[in-house]
C-alpha cells in the first residue's frame, strides 16, 4: 500500500504558538508508562523483547517539518530519534511524512517519529534524567547570545568548545536540512551554533 | 471593603490579632504615576498563605496585596519587616534553620527571603512552568519540594535549586497539598485534585502507596463524577509520626491513617471522623491532638485525642475553650464563610481537543481529493485556514493518560 508524501501547503501554520496556554496534549503520567512501541513499532516487535528496550536518544525540540529527523535517520539507524512539535498541523505533517517514507522504503525511517507536545511543560513526563549534549542553532544573533548566556550560567551545563566538534556529524547538518535552515541559506544569513554538555553538580 | 484579619493563638500567651488592611502600604513609585497604561493593580488584604517556623518563634504571612510580613512571637508579638513579592503567593515555608522563608507564587516561581536580614529582597530560586500550589522542605533543609497545576511534584536541592533531584509523577490532576511527615525522613505525602493521596520516596521519585479518598468514603462511582470531584486540601502529620489526617474540600469528614505494624513501614487508613460541617483546616498540636477548624461560630474547633485505637472528641478541653473565646469576637470580620468556596475547582483544566476540528477538515480535504481523482488542484484552491482552530470542542482524554497514543 503506497502512502503518498504529504504536501506542505496543506499543513502551513504560523511559527508562533503560546506554550503557556492550556492546549490539550496527551502525555504519559511518567516516563515508565510511555509506550514507545506505538511510534517505533519495528524496534519493539516481539523478537526484540529479550533485548534491552530501545530508548529515545535524540530529541528534536521544535522539530518543525521534520527536516532534521529525516536527515539524521540514516546516520543513526540503531538509535531512536524523536521530534517534538507543538503545532497541530505541523506535527501532523511530520507524522504523515514519516508514514510515507517508511512505506516507500521498507526498513528505513523506522527510528524517527514525531509527537505533538509542549516540551517546556512535559519533557519530564516522557524522559527520565540523563546526561548528554544540547545542540542549539539559530540565525538570530540575539537568540544565540541569550541561549549561550543562560546555558553558560547554568551550573549544570558547560559549553563544548568548537575544537571538539570538528568531527560531529550533526553540526554540519543543523543549518542546512531544515525548512528554517534552508531559508537562512537562501537569504544569505548566518548560522550561530552552540553546543553544551550536561555536567554533574559540583556541590 | 471588608477587612481580613488573621489570628494566631499561642496557648501560653494572649491572642494576637493582625489586620492586613491596616498594615504598611506599598510606597508609591513616582515613575509609575507617569504610566498611563492603567496597569496599577490593587489587591484585597486577604491572606493567601502563612507559615510558622519550627521553633514557633517566627511567623510569616503573605496577602493579596503582595505583602510578605515577618513576625516574631517571643518575647512578644512584633512585626519584624514588611516586604513585597513580585506575584501573589500560594505557599510559604520556613527553613528548619529558620534563616530563610521561601515563597512559591502563582506564576510558578520560588523566592527565598532572608530572615537574618529581614529587609533584604527575595532571591529567585527555581521555577515551574505552571502555577505552584504547594511547597515543603525535607528534613535538615536538604531538598525543596514544589507542586504545581500540571500534576508535577519536583524535588530540588535546596542549596542548588537548579539541580533537580527527581520528579514524583503519578497524579492525574493538579497537586494541591504536600507534607513531609514527621518521623519519616524519606517520605513525602501528596494530595491532588484527582482525589488521591500518594506516598513517595521523594529522593528517587518512587511511588510507594496511593489511596483514593473517595473510595475510602465508600462513595459509589456515579455518572456525575466530575461534579463531585474533591481535591485533597490538607494533609497533616502527628508529631510522633504515627498518624496522618487528610481533609478533602467540601467533604464533612476527616480521613485518618496510621502506621501498620510489620516488617515494612506502611501507612494504612485507620478511621474516618464525621463532622457536623465541612472543615476549613486541620492540624496536630505538639501533644498529638488533632484540631479541626469548622465554619461554625458556636463551635469553630473540634479537638480529637487518640486513645486506645480510636479518636475521641474532647468537648471540654480548656485550651479549646480559650481559643474559641479568642476567635469569636472576630468571626464576622474573618468572613469565615468565604473560605467555604472551593479553592481548587477552577484549577481543573478545560477539555479542548485541538486536534479534533483539524482532523475533520483534513478528512474532508482528503475525501475531496479522492473524489477529484487524479485531477491536479491549483495552489489557490488548496488553501487551508490558517492556524489551529480556536473554537474549542469538548474532547475526551486530555492530559496525562496511562499509555500515550501517537
> Is the Cβ of B394 closer than 8 Å to some Cβ of chain A?
no
CA–CA distance, A191 with A141 (Å, rounded to integer):
8
> Is the Cβ of B338 closer than 8 Å to some Cβ of chain A?
no
Average of per-residue pLDDT values in chain B: 83
Cβ B99 vs Cβ B142: under 8 Å: no
Question: Going by DSSP bridges, is the β-strand pair B100-105/B164-168 parallel, antiparallel, or unpaired?
Answer: unpaired
Provide the ipTM.
0.88
- What residues form DSSP beta bridges with B363? none
Strands of the sheet containing A133-138, edge to edge, are A133-138, A192-198, A157-159
Which is nearest to B293 in space by CA: B307, B309, B306, B304? B304
* CA B239 vs CA B184, B244, B270: distances in Å: 10, 10, 17
Residue B35's pLDDT is 42
Q: Half-sphere exposure of residue B376, counting CA atoms within 13 Å on the CB side?
A: 2
Residue A173's pLDDT is 84
Here the contacts of A177-182 (C-beta below 8 Å, separation 24 or greater) are A177/A67, A177/A68, A177/A70, A177/A71, A178/A64, A178/A65, A178/A67, A178/A68, A179/A64, A179/A65, A179/A67, A180/A64, A180/A139, A181/A67, A181/A137, A182/A67
> Is the Cβ of B388 closer than 8 Å to some Cβ of chain A?
yes
Average of per-residue pLDDT values in chain A: 89
CA–CA distance, B40 with B44 (Å, rounded to integer):
13
User: What average pLDDT does the segment A136-163 reach?
Assistant: 95
Which is nearest to B51 in space by CA: B136, B127, B158? B136
Query: Which residues of chain A are within 8 Å of residue B109 when distances are taken between CB atoms?
Result: none
CA–CA distance, B255 with B196 (Å, rounded to integer):
12
Residue B13's pLDDT is 54
Q: Model confidence over A69-92: pLDDT tens digits?
A: 999 999 999 999 999 999 999 999
Q: What angle do CA A162, A165, A171 make, to 5 degrees?
A: 105
Residue A52's pLDDT is 65
Per-residue pLDDT tens digits of chain B, which is 406 residues long? 233 344 444 444 566 667 776 666 666 555 544 444 444 456 777 889 999 999 989 999 999 999 999 999 888 889 999 999 999 999 999 999 999 999 999 999 999 999 999 999 999 999 999 999 999 999 999 999 999 999 999 999 999 999 999 999 999 999 999 999 999 999 999 999 999 999 999 999 999 999 999 988 876 655 555 557 899 999 999 999 999 999 999 899 999 999 987 778 899 999 999 999 889 899 999 999 999 998 888 888 999 999 988 999 988 888 888 888 888 888 887 765 555 567 888 898 876 777 888 888 889 988 888 888 755 544 444 344 444 333 333 334 445 654 333 3
Length of chain A counted residue by residue? 203
Report the first-to-last Cα separation within chain A, whole angstroms: 57
CA–CA distance, B81 with B116 (Å, rounded to integer):
11
Strands of the sheet containing B301-307, edge to edge, are B279-284, B290-294, B301-307, B310-313
Cβ B388 vs Cβ A16: under 8 Å: no
Query: Which residues of chain B are within 8 Å of residue A42 when distances are taken between CB atoms?
Result: none
> Exposed, middle or buried: residue B406 (CB in 10 Å: 0-12, 13-18, 19+)?
middle
Which is nearest to B48 in space by CA: B68, B64, B69? B64
Residue B1's pLDDT is 27
User: What average pLDDT does the segment A97-105 reach?
Assistant: 96
Cβ A154 vs Cβ A197: under 8 Å: no
Chain A residues within 8 Å of chain B (Cβ atoms): 7, 9-14, 17, 19-20, 22-31, 33-35, 38-39, 87-89, 92, 95, 113, 115-116, 120-122, 124-125, 129, 154-156, 201, 203
* Continuous segment of H or E residues that includes residue A198: strand A192-198
Q: How far is B43 from chain A (nearest CA, A)?
A: 24
Q: pTM, whole model, 2 decimals?
A: 0.86
Query: Which residues of chain A are within 8 Å of residue B382 when distances are taken between CB atoms?
Result: 7, 9-10
> Which residue carries 512552568 as its cell?
B129
> Which residue carries 481533609 as its cell?
B247
CA–CA distance, B145 with B166 (Å, rounded to integer):
10
Task: Check B397 against A38: CB less than 8 A apart.
Answer: no
Domain ranges in chain B are 237-334
SS3 B245: strand
Q: How far is A5 from chain B (nearest CA, A)?
A: 13
Task: Check A13 against B162: CB less than 8 A apart.
Answer: no
Q: Kindly report the number of other CB atoms within 10 A of residue A163's CB atom.
A: 6
Q: What angle do CA B149, B155, B159 make, to 5 degrees?
A: 125
Query: Which residues of chain B are within 8 Å of residue A26 when distances are taken between CB atoms?
Result: 397-401, 404-405
Query: Which residues of chain B are within 8 Å of residue A38 when distances are taken between CB atoms?
Result: 403-406
- What residues form DSSP beta bridges with B70? B60, B81
Cβ B388 vs Cβ A92: under 8 Å: no
Find the CB nearest B163 among A10, A89, A156.
A156
Cβ A149 vs Cβ A190: under 8 Å: no
Task: Check A125 against B164: CB less than 8 A apart.
Answer: no
> Exposed, middle or buried: residue A177 (CB in 10 Å: 0-12, 13-18, 19+)?
middle
Provide the strand spans (E) within B249-390.
253-260, 266-274, 279-284, 290-294, 301-307, 310-313
Q: Model confidence over A161-174: pLDDT tens digits?
A: 999 998 888 888 88
What chain A residue is nearest to B357 in terms of C-alpha separation?
A88
Which is nearest to A195 in space by CA: A157, A146, A155, A169? A157
Please give the torsion angle defined by the CA atoms of residues A145, A149, A152 and A157, in that order, rounded to the nearest 10 degrees. -90
Please tell me what DSSP assigns to residue B30.
H
SS3 content of chain A, % helix, strand, coil (to 5): 40, 20, 45
SS3 B374: coil
Amino acid at each position: 500500500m503506497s502512502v503518498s508524501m504529504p504536501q506542505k501547503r496543506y499543513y502551513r501554520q504560523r511559527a508562533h504558538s503560546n506554550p503557556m496556554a492550556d492546549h490539550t496534549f496527551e502525555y504519559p503520567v511518567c516516563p515508565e508508562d510511555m509506550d514507545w512501541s506505538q511510534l517505533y513499532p519495528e524496534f519493539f516487535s516481539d523478537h526484540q523483547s529479550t533485548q534491552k528496550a530501545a530508548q529515545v536518544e535524540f530529541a528534536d525540540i521544535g522539530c518543525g517539518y521534520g527536516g532534521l529527523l529525516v536527515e539524521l535517520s540514516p546516520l543513526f539507524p540503531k538509535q531512536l530519534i524523536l521530534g517534538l512539535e507543538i503545532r497541530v498541523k505541523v506535527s501532523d505533517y511530520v507524522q504523515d511524512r514519516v508514514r510515507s517514507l517508511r512505506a516507500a522504503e521498507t526498513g528505513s525511517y523506522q527510528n524517527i517519529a514525531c509527537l505533538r507536545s509542549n516540551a517546556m511543560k512535559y519533557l519530564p513526563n516522557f524522559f527520565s534524567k540523563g546526561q548528554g549534549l544540547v545542540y542549539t542553532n539559530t540565525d538570530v544573533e540575539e537568540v544565540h547570545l541569550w541561549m549561550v548566556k543562560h546555558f553558560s550560567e547554568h551550573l549544570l551545563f558547560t559549553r563544548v568548545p568548537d575544537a571538539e566538534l570538528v568531527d560531529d556529524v550533526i553540526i554540519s547538518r543543523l543549518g542546512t536540512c531544515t525548512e528554517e535552515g534552508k531559508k537562512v541559506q537562501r537569504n544569505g544569513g548566518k548560522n550561530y551554533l552552540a553546543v553544551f554538555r550536561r555536567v554533574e553538580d559540583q556541590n | 471593603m471588608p477587612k481580613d484579619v488573621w489570628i494566631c493563638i499561642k496557648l501560653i500567651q494572649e491572642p494576637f490579632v493582625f489586620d492586613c488592611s491596616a498594615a504598611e502600604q506599598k510606597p508609591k513609585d513616582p515613575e509609575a504615576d507617569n504610566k498611563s497604561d492603567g496597569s496599577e493593580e490593587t489587591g484585597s488584604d486577604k491572606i493567601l498563605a502563612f507559615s510558622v517556623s519550627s521553633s514557633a518563634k517566627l511567623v510569616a504571612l503573605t496577602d493579596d496585596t503582595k505583602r510578605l510580613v515577618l513576625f516574631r512571637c517571643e518575647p512578644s508579638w512584633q512585626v519584624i519587616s514588611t516586604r513585597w513579592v513580585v506575584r501573589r503567593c500560594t505557599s510559604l515555608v520556613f527553613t528548619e534553620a529558620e534563616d530563610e522563608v521561601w515563597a512559591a507564587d502563582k506564576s510558578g516561581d520560588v523566592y527565598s527571603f532572608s530572615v537574618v536580614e529581614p529587609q533584604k529582597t527575595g532571591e529567585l530560586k527555581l521555577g515551574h512552568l505552571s502555577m505552584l500550589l504547594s511547597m515543603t522542605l525535607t528534613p535538615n533543609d536538604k531538598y525543596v519540594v514544589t507542586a504545581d497545576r500540571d500534576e508535577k511534584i519536583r524535588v530540588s536541592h535546596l542549596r542548588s535549586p537548579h539541580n533537580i533531584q527527581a520528579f514524583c509523577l503519578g497524579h492525574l490532576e493538579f497537586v494541591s497539598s504536600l507534607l513531609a511527615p514527621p518521623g519519616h525522613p524519606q517520605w513525602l505525602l501528596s494530595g491532588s485534585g484527582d482525589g488521591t493521596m500518594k506516598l513517595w520516596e521523594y529522593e528517587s521519585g518512587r511511588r510507594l502507596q496511593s489511596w483514593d479518598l473517595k473510595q475510602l468514603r465508600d462513595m459509589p462511582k456515579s455518572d456525575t463524577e466530575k461534579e463531585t470531584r474533591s481535591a485533597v486540601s490538607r494533609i497533616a502529620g502527628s508529631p510522633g509520626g504515627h498518624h496522618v489526617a487528610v481533609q478533602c474540600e467540601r467533604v464533612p469528614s476527616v480521613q485518618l491513617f496510621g502506621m501498620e505494624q510489620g516488617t515494612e513501614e506502611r501507612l494504612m487508613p485507620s478511621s474516618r471522623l464525621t463532622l457536623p460541617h465541612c472543615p476549613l483546616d486541620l492540624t496536630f498540636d505538639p501533644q498529638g491532638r488533632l484540631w479541626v477548624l469548622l465554619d461554625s461560630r458556636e463551635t469553630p474547633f473540634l479537638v480529637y485525642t487518640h486513645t486506645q485505637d480510636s479518636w475521641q472528641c474532647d468537648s471540654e478541653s480548656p485550651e479549646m475553650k480559650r481559643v474559641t473565646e479568642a476567635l469569636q469576637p472576630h468571626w464576622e470580620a474573618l468572613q469565615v464563610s468565604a473560605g467555604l468556596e472551593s479553592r481548587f475547582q477552577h484549577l481543573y483544566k478545560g477539555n479542548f481537543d485541538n486536534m479534533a476540528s483539524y482532523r475533520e477538515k483534513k478528512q474532508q480535504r482528503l475525501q475531496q481529493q479522492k473524489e477529484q481523482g487524479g485531477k491536479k488542484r491549483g495552489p489557490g484552491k488548496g488553501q487551508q485556514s490558517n492556524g489551529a482552530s480556536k473554537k474549542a470542542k469538548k474532547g475526551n482524554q486530555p492530559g496525562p493518560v496511562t499509555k500515550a497514543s501517537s
